[in-house]
């Protein structure tokens, strides 16, 4: 089994859109967006999103099986947001989720001082993962998300990126011995190099 992790490009729009819609359809309570909203987007709109935001993809044997995105919050200069984390069921158990979130964290370090995340209380795996990677909960919002006729509480978490202890915790939790093969650990340096390359390109525009 071949595992790879990289930033997505606009040419990845069809694969990203398909996987994103799969997550929204199967787990509507995990996401703020809705299936209908995103299904209405054209591939050109999705491609523009991948061009303007950093979205990481995890590939298994060349197939996109996991995604996680970073967005800089426009109302403040020091905060970013982790969004859209999803791993296809058949690819779970190999550490893809940990690797994707860790990649977003490393990218965020070059842009903001803290990274925020919001997760529904009905998603215990994500809550455990974020804590494992150093996120700290700071509030519970009652009825923060409406899915159909249901209201769900949401937990708000933050990771302070200028804390050295946080970096050590991420490295220990996300990279060594991921899954049964540990193959994604080999992607760590590649991801960091790719992040710097892409960040440099954007800065030069």
Residue predicted with more confidence, 77 or 112 = 112
**90 CB burial (10 A radius; 0-12, 13-18, 19+):** exposed
Number of domains, the chain? 1
User: How many other C-beta atoms can be found within 10 angstroms of the C-beta atom of residue 96?
Assistant: 27
| pLDDT tens-digit series, residues 153-169 | 999 999 999 875 455 45
- The answer to whether residue 144 sits within a structural domain is yes
- The answer to whether residue 161 sits within a structural domain is yes
What CATH number does residue 21 fall under? 3.40.630.30
- The answer to whether residue 194 sits within a structural domain is no
User: What is the pTM assigned to this prediction?
Assistant: 0.81
The tokens for 93 are: 């158990």
**From CA 13, how far away is CA 197, in angstroms rounded?**
20
pLDDT bin (cut points 50, 70, 90) of residue 174 is low
Measured distance between the N- and C-terminal CA atoms of the chain, rounded to whole angstroms? 38
- The answer to whether residue 69 sits within a structural domain is yes
- The answer to whether residue 66 sits within a structural domain is yes
Residue predicted with more confidence, 189 or 171 = 171
| Three-state DSSP class for residue 31 | coil
User: How many other C-beta atoms can be found within 10 angstroms of the C-beta atom of residue 138?
Assistant: 10
| Three-state DSSP class for residue 42 | coil
- Phi and psi at residue 8, to the nearest 5°: -80, 150
Give the burial string for 121-132 (b: 16+ CB within 10 Å, else e).
bbbeebbebbeb
- The answer to whether residue 129 sits within a structural domain is yes
Q: Could you say which DSSP state residue 73 is in? A: -
- Phi and psi at residue 135, to the nearest 5°: -65, 140
- The answer to whether residue 117 sits within a structural domain is yes
- The answer to whether residue 89 sits within a structural domain is yes
Q: What is the mean pLDDT of residues 102-111?
A: 94
pLDDT at 164: 54
Q: Which runs of E-coded beta strand occur in 12-60?
A: 54-60
Residue 149 has pLDDT above 90, yes or no: no
Domain that holds residue 59: 3-178
């Amino acid at each position: 089994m071949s595992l790879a992790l990289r930033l997505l490009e606009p040419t990845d729009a069809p694969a990203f859109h398909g996987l994103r819609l799969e997550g929204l359809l199967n787990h509507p309570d995990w996401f703020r967006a809705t299936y209908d909203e995103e299904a209405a987007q054209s591939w050109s709109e999705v491609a523009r999103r991948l061009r303007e935001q950093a979205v990481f993809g995890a590939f298994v044997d060349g197939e996109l099986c996991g995604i996680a995105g970073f967005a800089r919050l426009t109302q403040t200069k020091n905060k970013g947001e982790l969004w859209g984390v999803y791993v296809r069921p058949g690819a779970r158990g190999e550490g893809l989720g940990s690797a994707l979130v860790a990649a977003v964290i490393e990218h965020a370090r070059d842009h903001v001082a803290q990274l925020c995340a919001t997760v529904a209380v009905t998603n215990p795996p994500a809550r455990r993962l974020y804590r494992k990677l150093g996120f700290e909960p700071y509030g519970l919002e009652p009825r923060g998300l409406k899915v159909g006729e249901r209201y769900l509480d949401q937990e708000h978490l933050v990771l302070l990126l200028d804390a050295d202890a946080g970096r050590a915790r991420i490295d220990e939790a996300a990279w060594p011995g991921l899954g049964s093969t540990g193959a994604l650990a080999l992607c760590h340096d590649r991801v960091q190099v790719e992040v710097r390359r892409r960040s440099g390109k954007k800065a030069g525009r």
